[in-house]
Structure 1
């Protein structure tokens, strides 16, 4: 019975330490306060906006070129 209690307490201590390390390590690594997934999502949104504006510009350029020939 004593060995079982020791094993259960050891597992609880190890899992508690792992939980603390995983949750507090991520908060120390973010300098600006934004999490890594948030920064990645912001980067994707910015890239999508740039792609969309480039496509609109190319469409306007093509439209003006086609209009000049008529």
Structure 2
């Protein structure tokens, strides 16, 4: 009788923990095609790196044209 009560309690606790874990799961990765937070952050970093690189190229071109004009 004691083993049966222990087994029933163990099953009930396991089911409760599983329900809690599934109902409170993080929802940042939706299967409907939305991007996750990590992917959005990586895309933002890539965009910022691209902007920085293009700004540096533009400044180098400006400096080159100024150096050519002064001679």
Q: Give the TM-score of the pair, scaled to structure 2.
A: 0.67
Shift in alpha-carbon separation, 1:53–1:18, aligned structure 2, 3 A: farther
Please report the RMSD computed on the Cα atoms of aligned residues, expressed in angstroms: 2.6
Change (3 A) 1:47 1:55: same
Q: Which structure 2 residue ranges, 5 or more long, are not aligned?
A: none
Q: How many residues get paired?
A: 66
Q: 2:40 maps to which residue? A: 39
Deviating beyond 4 angstroms after TM superposition, the runs of 4 or more aligned structure 1 residues are none
- Structure of higher CA gyration radius: 2
Structure of greater relative contact order (alpha carbons < 8 Å, 6+ residues apart): 2
